[in-house]
Copies of this chain bind each other. A is one copy, B any other.
Amino acid sequence: MLEGKNVNLRIVEKEDLELVAEWVNDLGFTGEYEPVSQESETDIEKQYDKLGPEEKWFIIEEKDGSKIGLIIHLLDPGKRMAIGYYLVASERRKGYGTEAVGIMVDYLFLSKNIVRIQAETHPENVASHRVLEKSGFKREGTIRKSFFSRGVWRDTVLFSILREEWKEPKILTKAASQS
């Protein structure tokens, strides 16, 4: 488990997939910019079983163990490490997203020989931009008509953070105490 101040990241186990499926099928969960998608627990389980070594899903938990969101990392085809995250509506705007992203960035730079981490978000999703900027990400550009969602083709904004911008862990400091 990756432990932060207010939230922990816990790797998703098979037992969690029922909840993940429930979240995925809740139009409110992924937020107003994300695709509307309905998938059975069987669909989710198939995806989970196919995850590659560089693709992991984590539950975002509060310290009392209540599950409030998902954060994942994966490699894009260009071998670039990318992350994505969602919180249940009731737990947004409390800094939990920023902390979860901070933990993930620390974890990825500590555990993997990578030079950058990227994330895509929506031009209007100011809250998500702030989360990324607070975590040290920089805006690289806008991918026009990036994907189809809720009836229209939508742009995404590409953000990234480089290892030299990250410098050192902010939250998982204990994990790197020997570096």
Which residues does A use to contact B, with CB under 8 Å?
1-2, 9-14, 25-27, 32-33, 35-42, 48-49, 56, 58, 76-80, 107, 109-113, 115-116, 118, 120, 124, 138, 140-153, 158, 160, 162, 168-169, 172, 174-179
Contact = CB atoms under 8 A, between A and B. Distances in A.
Nearest to A112: B148
B144 A141 contact: no
Contact of A148 (B49, B113, B144, B175): B113
A160 to B, nearest CB: 6
A2 B39 CA distance: 11
Contacts of A176: 150-151
Contacts of A113: 113, 148, 153
A79 to B, nearest CB: 7
A26 B1 contact: yes
Given A2-B38, A38-B58, A151-B179, 13 more contacts: A1-B38, A2-B27, A36-B107, A40-B56, A42-B49, A79-B147, A110-B150, A113-B153, A115-B153, A124-B178, A138-B144, A140-B142, A144-B160
Taking the full assembly, how many copies of this chain does it contain? 6
Mostly, the A contact residues are: mixed
A38 B151 CA distance: 31
Contact of A40 (B12, B27, B32): B12
Contacts of A109: 151
Q: Which of A33, A40, A172 has the most CB of B within 10 A?
A: A40
B2 A146 contact: no
A152 to B, nearest CB: 5
B110 A151 contact: yes
Contacts of A14: 40-42
A115 B41 CA distance: 28
